[in-house]
Amino acid sequence: MPHEQGYWNLRVIEFDLGDDSYSAVHEVHYEADGRLLGYSANPAVVMWTPDDGPGAAQRALEKIRRALAEPPINV
């Protein structure tokens, strides 16, 4: 889903480190044309504030569900 100024979403990142390999959900940033620009240094945190309103927890979990449904990105 390209946007004029780029965009971000959550994705599973697989870190291939031999015996120490692991996967985590990170914020991933894309160029406007959909090319991967980069990802957050730290894994995403599931959190919300009272200002986020009713259903905020469910919306946060839905972002994680969408990330898990996509193919992982290997780095």
Looking at residue 1, its pLDDT comes to: 52
Looking at residue 63, its pLDDT comes to: 95
Report the distance separating Cα 70 and Cα 65, nearest Å: 9
Mean pLDDT of the chain: 93
Positive or negative torsion for Cα 14, 15, 16, 18: negative
pLDDT above 90 coverage of the chain, percent: 88
pTM of the predicted protein model:
0.84
> pLDDT at residue 65 above 80?
yes
**Contact criterion met (CB below 8 Å) for 70 and 12:** yes
Looking at residue 22, its pLDDT comes to: 97
